Amino acid sequence: MDAKTDRKERETAPAEESRAQPRSDRQQRPPGDDKRVEDRPVEDKRDDEQAQDRQANDGSPDGNKPGLIKRHPYIATLIAILVLLVVAAVVIWWINARHYEWTDDAFIDARTVTVGAEIAGRITDVAVTDNQPVEAGAVLLRIDDSDYQASLKQAQAGVEAAQAEIANVQAQTQAQNAKIDVAGKQVAQAQAAFEFAKSEDQRNRELLAKGTATQQQAQQAASTLRQDQAALDAANANIEAAKSQVAVLQAQGKSAEAKLRQAEATEDQARTTLARTMITAPVAGHATNITAAKGTYAQPGQVLMMFVPKDVWVKANFKETQLDLMRPGQPVDIAIDAYPEKTFHGHVDSVQAGSGTAFSLLPAENATGNFVKVVQRVPVKIVFDQPPGVYLGPGMSVVPTVKLR
């Protein structure tokens, strides 16, 4: 291998010297030298070609190596297309996103009802179980009503007694009116007798003055007049007494009517209390968080279960910077985490007049301490256009998207 290398160096040395010499010297070179180069063995030529290939593979010193894009044109084109598609998608998304506002700080909300006992008593029946759907007016539970039934009967008896007293007073009033009529007739009779006695007395006085009547006759007529006068006065007093008794009976009648109204109020209260022994559903919904059990003693105000109505909506807490173009009636697409395969539709119902912190238990007081501005969130009520048709309960996560334009 060393002999071959030495021979190769000796053969290439004259060629390098000839390249280093001036052009005039190369022209004067004998023709025999070129012939010796051309007549080199084939093996030496092959070695030269392999050396040139190795030099090309190791790197060209003059920078003629092709670039990455030229070596992989299809991959470069594909990458360029993907970049253009991404840019176009970002631009389209940005243009489209300006027409919408969304938030993930949103939940299903409803006016839950606390079902509690209004009276004291032992629970005799619980008609529903946990999470059971019920319609409005359906019985939820019952409380022992035996004591309240007795109170109602007692109140009804009081009403009947008051009605009887009123009837008695009315009967007495009618009887007294009849007495007044009799007394009136007696007054008329006494008045007639008095008028006749008065005429007789006047006539006897005149006859006595003429001498045609005796003194006894005149005295008898005067006595009769005085008797008839007394009878008339007695008749008038009797009728006045009868009329005054009517006023007494009228006062008794008013008292009896007041007692009747009181008895009726007691009856209504007893009936209402009796009705409270049966607790019913105020609206259609679901009974949940039931703590009542048969046999337990319920106290007034004690919470026995919770009731969730079917009427639910979305309470979305948007940032105050998102409310510039938000108005009631704008359409909303509602995505509920519990039903990812469905999209529900609704509209903005109203925007709360104030941020959420303003109505919290301990509202922020920015006039004290150091102030740090924080973007506030304002609750927005979103209602469904159609009943959702799926089970929804307060607190379930929602992502609403409001279309502003």
Model pLDDT for residues 79-109, shown as the tens digit of each residue:
888 988 898 888 877 766 678 889 999 999 9
Indicate the pLDDT class of residue 187, thresholds 50, 70 and 90. confident
Q: Please tell me the least confidently modeled range out of 30-39, 126-135, 203-212.
A: 30-39
Q: Angle at CA 223, nearest 5°, toward 220 and 229?
A: 140
Residues 6+ apart with CB under 8 A from 99: 403, 404, 405
Q: Name the pTM for this structure.
A: 0.58
Model pLDDT for residues 293-311, shown as the tens digit of each residue:
999 999 998 899 998 998 9
102-111+307-403, what's its fold?
A: Elongation Factor Tu (Ef-tu); domain 3 (2.40.30)
**Is pLDDT above 50 for 18?**
no
pLDDT > 90: what percent of the chain?
35
**Is pLDDT above 50 for 14?**
no
Architecture of domain 146-275: Orthogonal Bundle (1.10)
Side-chain-side CA neighbours of residue 61 (13 Å): 3
**Is pLDDT above 90 for 314?**
yes
The pLDDT value recorded for residue 33 is 45
Indicate the pLDDT class of residue 44, thresholds 50, 70 and 90. low
**The domain over range 114-144+277-306 is classified in CATH as 2.40.50.100:** yes
**Is pLDDT above 70 for 358?**
yes
**Higher per-residue confidence, 360 vs 336:** 336
pLDDT > 70: what percent of the chain?
77
Indicate the pLDDT class of residue 22, thresholds 50, 70 and 90. very low
**Higher per-residue confidence, 113 vs 249:** 113
Chain mean pLDDT for the chain: 79
The pLDDT value recorded for residue 94 is 74
The pLDDT value recorded for residue 16 is 46
Domains 102-111+307-403 and 114-144+277-306 agree in fold:
no
The pLDDT value recorded for residue 46 is 57
Section 198-225 average pLDDT: 70
Indicate the pLDDT class of residue 246, thresholds 50, 70 and 90. confident
User: CA 389, 393, 396, 402 torsion: positive or negative?
Assistant: positive
Model pLDDT for residues 58-78, shown as the tens digit of each residue:
444 444 555 666 777 778 788
Section 25-37 average pLDDT: 44
**Is pLDDT above 50 for 21?**
no
Where are the chain's structural domains?
2-63, 66-97, 102-111+307-403, 114-144+277-306, 146-275
Indicate the pLDDT class of residue 15, thresholds 50, 70 and 90. very low
Indicate the pLDDT class of residue 29, thresholds 50, 70 and 90. very low
Say how far apart CA 304 and CA 217 lie, in whole Å. 101
**Is pLDDT above 60 for 243?**
yes
Indicate the pLDDT class of residue 110, thresholds 50, 70 and 90. very high
The pLDDT value recorded for residue 186 is 73
Q: Please tell me the least confidently modeled range out of 193-197, 210-214, 373-377.
A: 210-214
The pLDDT value recorded for residue 36 is 45
Section 272-282 average pLDDT: 92
The pLDDT value recorded for residue 61 is 45
Find which of 57-66, 181-190, 206-215, 390-399 is predicted with most confidence, using mean pLDDT.
390-399
Section 368-383 average pLDDT: 88
Section 194-213 average pLDDT: 70
**Higher per-residue confidence, 268 vs 364:** 268
Section 41-48 average pLDDT: 53
